[in-house]
A and B are shown apart, each in its own frame.
Chain A
Amino acid sequence: MLNRGTLIYIAQRVVLIAFTVMVVSFGVFVVVHSLPGNAFISDRLHGKALQLLLHQYGLDQPVVIQYWNWLKGAIHGDLGISLVTRGAPITPIVLKELSVSAMVGGAALLVTIGLGVTFGVIAAIRQNTWVDYTLTTFAVIGYSVPSFVIASLGILIFANWLNNVSNGAFYYPLPWQGTYGGGGLSTLISLSLPAISIGLYTSGQVTRITRASMLEVIQQDYIRTARAKGLKSRRVTVRHALRNALVPVMSIMPSTVLGILTGVVVIENIFTIPGLGKEFVTSITQQDYNLTVGVFTIYAVLIGFANLIVDLLYAVVDPRIRY
Chain B
Amino acid sequence: MATTTYMPEVVTEYAGGTVAREQVSLWRDGLRRLRRNKLAVVAMGFLAFLAVVTVVSLFWTPYPPNAIGTCQGYTFPSPKHLMGCDDLGRDLLSRVMVGSQVSLVVGLATAFVVLVVGVVVGLVAGYMRGWVDTVISVIINIFYGVPPLLIAISLYVLLGASLVNIIIAISATVWMDMARLVRGQSLSIREREFVEAARASGTKTSKILFAHIFPNALGPIIVQATFIIPIAILTAAFLTFLGFGVPPPQADWGGIASEGFSALASGFDPYILLFPAIAISLTLLAFNFFGDGLRDAFDPRQKR
* B267 touching A169, Cβ below 8 Å: yes
Q: How far is the CA of A304 from the CA of B142 in the complex (A)?
A: 10
**What string of 1s and 0s marks CB contacts (under 8 Å) between B52-77 and chain A?**
00000000000000000000000000
* B150 touching A296, Cβ below 8 Å: yes
On chain A, the residues within 8 Å of B260 by CB distance are 152
* A212 touching B304, Cβ below 8 Å: yes
Q: How far is the CA of A31 from the CA of B150 in the complex (A)?
A: 12
In A8-54, which residues have CB < 8 Å from any B CB?
16, 20-21, 23-24, 28, 31-32, 34-35
Is A146 an interface residue, CB under 8 A from the partner?
A: yes
CB-contact partner of B6 in A137, A141, A251, under 8 A: A251
Q: How far is the CA of A29 from the CA of B10 in the complex (A)?
A: 36
User: What's the least CB distance linking A298 to chain B, in Å?
Assistant: 11
| B149, B243, B281, B285 pick with most chain A CB within 10 angstroms | B149
Question: Assuming the A-B contacts A32-B154, A259-B3, are A300 and B264 also in contact, with contact meaning beta carbons closer than 8 angstroms in the complex?
Answer: no
**What string of 1s and 0s marks CB contacts (under 8 Å) between A280-316 and chain B?**
1100110000001001100110011000000000000
Q: How far is the CA of A169 from the CA of B268 in the complex (A)?
A: 8
Q: How far is the CA of A145 from the CA of B280 in the complex (A)?
A: 8
* A258 touching B148, Cβ below 8 Å: yes
In B133-154, which residues have CB < 8 Å from any A CB?
141-142, 144-150, 153-154
Question: Assuming the A-B contacts A251-B8, A262-B147, are A144 and B281 also in contact, with contact meaning beta carbons closer than 8 angstroms in the complex?
Answer: yes
On chain B, the residues within 8 Å of A295 by CB distance are 150
Q: How far is the CA of A303 from the CA of B280 in the complex (A)?
A: 29
Is A205 an interface residue, CB under 8 A from the partner?
A: yes
**What string of 1s and 0s marks CB contacts (under 8 Å) between B107-145 and chain A?**
000000000000000000000000000000000011011
On chain B, the residues within 8 Å of A262 by CB distance are 1, 147-149, 238
CB-contact partner of B5 in A140, A254, A266, A270, under 8 A: A254
* B142 touching A280, Cβ below 8 Å: no
Question: Assuming the A-B contacts A28-B154, A252-B6, A255-B3, are A23 and B142 also in contact, with contact meaning beta carbons closer than 8 angstroms in the complex?
Answer: yes
CB-contact partner of A144 in B145, B148, B149, B284, under 8 A: B284
* B7 touching A255, Cβ below 8 Å: yes
User: What's the least CB distance linking A18 to chain B, in Å?
Assistant: 11
**What string of 1s and 0s marks CB contacts (under 8 Å) between A216-228 and chain B?**
1000000000000
Is A191 an interface residue, CB under 8 A from the partner?
A: no
Is A156 an interface residue, CB under 8 A from the partner?
A: yes
Is B242 an interface residue, CB under 8 A from the partner?
A: yes
Is A67 an interface residue, CB under 8 A from the partner?
A: no
Question: Assuming the A-B contacts A170-B267, A258-B5, are A141 and B285 also in contact, with contact meaning beta carbons closer than 8 angstroms in the complex?
Answer: yes
* B230 touching A170, Cβ below 8 Å: no
* B150 touching A280, Cβ below 8 Å: yes
On chain A, the residues within 8 Å of B153 by CB distance are 280-281, 284
Can you show 14 pairs from A to B with CB atoms below 8 A apart? Answer: A24-B146, A136-B304, A166-B267, A208-B304, A212-B304, A251-B7, A251-B8, A254-B5, A254-B144, A258-B1, A259-B1, A262-B147, A266-B238, A296-B146
Give the 3 A-B residue pairs with the shortest CB-CB distance, closest first.
Answer: A168-B267, A255-B5, A144-B284
